[in-house]
Amino acid sequence: MASAGMNGNGNGGGMVKRMGVLRVQYYCVMGAVAAAVVLATLRYMPGPAASTAVARQAVAAAAAPMGSLGGRKRKEEAKREKKEKEDGVVLFNFGDSNSDTGGVAAVMGIHIAPPEGRAHFRHPTGRLSDGRVILDFICESLGTHHLSPYMKPLGSDYSNGVNFAIAGSTATPGDTTFSLDVQVDQFLFFKERCLEAIERDESAPVDEQGFTKALYTMDIGHNDINGVLHLPYDKMLEKLPAIVGEIRKAIETLHKHGARKFLIHGTGALGCMPQKLAMPRDDDSGLDENGCIATINNVCKKFNALLSETCDELRLNLKKSTIIFVDMFAIKYDLVANHTTYGIEKPLMTCCGHGGPPYNYDPKESCMTSDMDLCKLGEKFISWDGVHFTDAANGIVASKVLSGEYSIPRVKLASIVIPPKSDD
Ligand SMILES: *[C@@H]1O[C@H](CO)[C@@H](O)[C@H](O)[C@H]1NC(C)=O
């Protein structure tokens, strides 16, 4: 529906000015929100049975249509639920906007408007993208539903884990409200409450075994790097060990509390972001052969090298753990350098921004303010809003993360998360 409108007045530049289209989208969104609220209310009605149990029944009912819930059936149901719990993938994610699945919008009460969400969910979800973030694709490929934000009050289902990521967060404590240490504390709070509930014979979304076998993912550090980019180059580099040290601390704390499998994302190629490229500069001598800012990318590479070394050390020191480091810079830089391979025409330009070519980014006006220059739906862009990736780009990045080709050690993610099939 949105696509029909969006294609309405496409022109040679590939950019369309939004017209009445957004108003139509707005009403669609209002409808969707109303429906979601009604659904959520219904879900919560049964009261003490706990919403996850109700959600589970709904899932089970969908999986086995028309299943009556007689005594014997109920027992089978319980048995299957137990088995599902044992087999199901559990993830706990810590991060910033790159993996925020609606957390910041819920916490801060931010009104997120279309066109966010237009390419996948068809309505804004609080993700800073036109669709899914990398974490969503990872969940999909591991056969589980998208992770619910820790602080999202409606419609959350934590049976497959929790997303603690909040847009804007830093690894450095105190720089932001939901810095990594706070996210880890929130995890510890969640875990304690779950185990307490189980102790009292009440249900909890994740049990002890779930916490042990879970995958702990981290994608953070971008905002810390952003915070030091105003410094001279050598001073920037001096700041990196402390940032990486915070990520190390978080991994160690989680390990101390039973976490065993980690997926640690490095930082992306921040020097290729339209937001950075649109900053005024004297000349283009600081740009590399792909048009990205070389010094910023060098800082990102140094950050990743330190983080990768840290993961190497932790692998030796932390007992019985699997720690995967993903070279996000290589993945994201390849997307820019080899963009035509991926069907992307303008790797350094935003899909949703202001000002048109070359970057279509204006620091004074966010993507969502009125009369933005918006690319056509279906046209492949890397950057959604100058900082965050599009659904299409995140999908490509996720497939590379999952492949293991950019990972140390080089293992397919599914192989460490999904247990080998038992004959049952
Ligand atoms: C571009 O693709 C080629 C061929 O796959 C590859 O060898 C090269 O490393 C890629 N460039 C970057 C910067 O990743």
Residue nearest to atom 2 of ligand 1 (CA): 338
Residue nearest to atom 14 of ligand 1 (CA): 334
E strand or H helix at 393, and its extent? helix 391-403
d(CA 219, CA 90): 17
Query: Quick check: 103 and 167 in contact, CB under 8 A?
Result: yes
Residue nearest to atom 11 of ligand 1 (CA): 334
Tell me, what's the pLDDT at 420?
Answer: 67
Among residues 97, 148, 156, 169, which one is catalytic? Answer: 97
> Residues 3-24: pLDDT tens digits?
333 332 333 333 333 333 333 3
Tell me, what's the pLDDT at 9?
Answer: 31
Q: Is any ligand 1 atom within 6 A of the Cβ of residue 334?
A: yes
> Residues 78-118: pLDDT tens digits?
777 666 666 799 999 999 999 999 999 999 999 888 999 99
State yes or no: pLDDT of 32 exceeds 70: no
> Residues 182-222: pLDDT tens digits?
999 999 999 999 999 999 999 999 999 999 999 999 999 99
> Residues 225-238: pLDDT tens digits?
999 999 999 999 99
Helix (H, G, I), strand (E, B) or coil at 159: coil
DSSP label at residue 328: H
Q: Is any ligand 1 atom within 6 A of the Cβ of residue 406?
A: no
As its CATH architecture, domain 2-45+88-417 has 3-Layer(aba) Sandwich (3.40)
d(CA 384, CA 19): 19
Question: What pLDDT band is residue 423 in, cutting at 50, 70 and 90?
Answer: low
* Residue ranges of domains in the chain: 2-45+88-417
Amino acid 122 reads R
Residue nearest to atom 8 of ligand 1 (CA): 334
The residue whose CB lies within 8 Å of the most ligand 1 atoms, and thus the one to mutate among 328, 334, 336, is: 334
Tell me, what's the pLDDT at 83?
Answer: 66
255 catalytic per annotation:
no
Amino acid 91 reads L
Using alpha carbons, select from 416, 338, 319 the residue that is nearest to residue 382: 338
Q: Is any ligand 1 atom within 6 A of the Cβ of residue 333?
A: yes
- Which own/partner pairs from 310-318 qualify as long-range (CB within 8 Å, at least 24 positions apart)? 310/244, 310/247, 310/248, 311/264, 311/408, 312/408, 314/248, 314/251, 314/252, 314/255, 318/251, 318/252, 318/255
State yes or no: pLDDT of 37 exceeds 70: no
State yes or no: pLDDT of 166 exceeds 90: yes
State yes or no: pLDDT of 250 exceeds 80: yes
Spacing, Cα 398 to ligand 1 middle (Å)? 17
320 to 119, 255, 417: CA distances (angstroms):
41, 10, 15
Tell me, what's the pLDDT at 11?
Answer: 32
End-to-end CA distance of the chain: 44
CB-based burial, 327-337: b 16+ in 10 Å, e otherwise: bbbbbbbbbbb
Residue 421 backbone class (left: φ over 0; alpha: ψ -120 to 50; beta: rest)? beta
Q: Among 147-156, 171-180, 328-337, 360-369, which is the least confidently predicted range? A: 360-369
Using alpha carbons, select from 30, 156, 144, 170 the residue that is nearest to residue 90: 144
152 to 104, 149, 275, 337: CA distances (angstroms):
9, 5, 29, 38
Q: Could you identify the atom of ligand 1 that is nearest to the CA of residue 290?
A: 13
The Cα angle at residue 375 between residues 374 and 378, in degrees rounded to 5: 135
Spacing, Cα 111 to ligand 1 middle (Å)? 40
The Cα angle at residue 137 between residues 270 and 118, in degrees rounded to 5: 80
Spacing, Cα 200 to ligand 1 middle (Å)? 55
385 catalytic per annotation:
yes
Q: Write out the two tokens for 185.
A: 């504390």
Bridge partner residues of 287 (DSSP): 293
Q: What is the mean pLDDT of the chain?
A: 85
Spacing, Cα 141 to ligand 1 middle (Å)? 25
Tell me, what's the pLDDT at 421?
Answer: 64
Q: Which residue has the tokens 């980014």?
A: 361
Q: Write out the two tokens for 58.
A: 């709904």
Spacing, Cα 338 to ligand 1 middle (Å)? 6
Question: What pLDDT band is residue 120 in, cutting at 50, 70 and 90?
Answer: very high
Among residues 100, 181, 327, 385, which one is catalytic? Answer: 385
Q: Could you identify the atom of ligand 1 that is nearest to the CA of residue 330?
A: 14
Tell me, what's the pLDDT at 3?
Answer: 31
Spacing, Cα 334 to ligand 1 middle (Å)? 6
Q: Which residue has the tokens 């929100």?
A: 33
Spacing, Cα 339 to ligand 1 middle (Å)? 10
Helix (H, G, I), strand (E, B) or coil at 362: strand
Sorted by sequence, the CB contacts under 8 Å of residue 245 that are 6+ apart come out as: none
Sorted by sequence, the CB contacts under 8 Å of residue 328 that are 6+ apart come out as: 219, 265, 266, 267, 268, 304, 397, 401, 406
Average pLDDT estimate for 134-140? 98
Residue nearest to atom 1 of ligand 1 (CA): 338
Q: Write out the two tokens for 358.
A: 């070359």
Sorted by sequence, the CB contacts under 8 Å of residue 201 that are 6+ apart come out as: none
d(CA 146, CA 142): 10
Sorted by sequence, the CB contacts under 8 Å of residue 253 that are 6+ apart come out as: 184, 188
234 catalytic per annotation:
no
Q: Could you identify the atom of ligand 1 that is nearest to the CA of residue 341?
A: 2
Query: Quick check: 323 and 315 in contact, CB under 8 A?
Result: yes
Percent of the chain at pLDDT > 70 equals: 80
Q: Is any ligand 1 atom within 6 A of the Cβ of residue 338?
A: yes
Mean pLDDT highest for which of 18-32, 64-78, 296-310?
A: 296-310
State yes or no: pLDDT of 292 exceeds 50: yes
Average pLDDT estimate for 162-170? 98
Q: Is any ligand 1 atom within 6 A of the Cβ of residue 337?
A: yes
